[in-house]
Amino acid sequence: MDIEKYIASGILELYIAGALSAEENLDVQHYALQYPEIQKEIEAIEEAMLQLTKSTSPELSDTSFKKVLSRLDDTIPFLPATSEKRIPWASYVGWAASLLLIIGMTWLYLQNNDLKSEIELTNKENEDLQQTITKTQNTIVEKEALLQELRNKNVTVVALGGQKVAPTSFAKAYWNKNKGQGIIDSQGLPTPPAGYTYQIWSLTLDPLTPTSLGLLDNFDTDTSKMFTLPNTNDSQAFGITLEPEGGSPTPTMEQLYVLGTVGHMFLL
């Protein structure tokens, strides 16, 4: 028998892996008893499998593999009943090695999934943080731009005082006539009831002529309460009324909340 050729054929690896038939297993065991070189190669393959299992599943005990093998060796005979010898556990080592390898690979799979979940969570947290930073930066830029507008030397500041329907209310209008733009600071107005909105009016006084500048939409969700509206009128006063959603063609004077003239504040 060409022992080297037999070893190189790969049949011993299949034997260890438990992939041979019962007859083929008996042949390998028979040759292992006859030729020490084959028995030595089987032991070397078993040791390599043990080291692989240990490396892929570090939480397993060093003796776990040998305990399984010793139990198999104690329960399964190798030679006929008349013989005093027992089957060496090597006949079923493939099954045991495969089992331990599966356990080790399962452990690695679970660890890998946990790592992926942690990475995904970290990436999501980083994305949320970046969005928060971007939003904060944009808010800062907007506020700086707004401050520059309010500080413009061409801006006229008009104080709007509370009227009879809401005497404690107040607001301010920042009007840049050259630019045709008004900014309304409505922080002093109460939140409008459902179904209603505030409407801004530009007024000329003689005769009293109101012109709508627009609505303070999303008043309850806008935290700054600063609204920018176009105003190309020759305004002499500004007023804010409470109107049904969508606004009104003319102001509802009974719902006039604040009013102020350019340069002065007066009450009606």
**Segment 73-80 mean pLDDT:** 43
pTM for the full model? 0.48
Q: What is the pLDDT of residue 137?
A: 65
Spatial contact of 231 and 175, defined as CB atoms under 8 Å apart: yes
Given a cut of 90, whether residue 66 has pLDDT beyond it is: no
Most confident of 51-55, 81-85, 228-232: 228-232
Q: 77-105 pLDDT, tens per residue? A: 444 433 344 445 454 555 566 666 667 66
Tokens of 229: 């509206």
Given a cut of 90, whether residue 46 has pLDDT beyond it is: no
Q: 152-195 pLDDT, tens per residue? A: 778 889 999 999 999 999 999 999 988 899 999 999 999 999 99
**Segment 241-264 mean pLDDT:** 92
Least confident of 52-61, 148-157, 193-202: 52-61
Q: Which residues of 60-91 are buried (b: 16+ CB within 10 A; e: fewer)?
A: eeeebbeebbeebbeeeebeeeeeeeebbbbb
Strands 226-230 and 237-244: unpaired
Q: What is the pLDDT of residue 84?
A: 41
Q: How confident is the model at residue 71 (pLDDT cuts 50, 70, 90)?
A: very low
Residue 94, number of CB atoms within 10 A of its CB:
21
Q: What is the pLDDT of residue 25?
A: 85
Spatial contact of 240 and 200, defined as CB atoms under 8 Å apart: yes
Given a cut of 70, whether residue 228 has pLDDT beyond it is: yes
Q: What is the pLDDT of residue 83?
A: 39
Gap between the Cα atoms of 253 and 255, Å rounded: 5
Q: What are 157's strand-pairing partners?
A: 174
Q: What is the pLDDT of residue 161?
A: 95
Least confident of 123-132, 193-202, 234-243: 123-132
Given a cut of 90, whether residue 239 has pLDDT beyond it is: yes
Q: What is the pLDDT of residue 249?
A: 95
Given a cut of 70, whether residue 234 has pLDDT beyond it is: yes
Q: How confident is the model at residue 206 (pLDDT cuts 50, 70, 90)?
A: confident
Please name each of the domains of the chain with its CATH number: 3-109 (no CATH), 155-261 (2.60.40)
Mean pLDDT computed over every residue of the chain: 79
Handedness of CA 19, 21, 27, 33 (dihedral sign): positive
Higher pLDDT: 157 or 74? It is 157
> What percent of the chain shows pLDDT beyond 70?
71
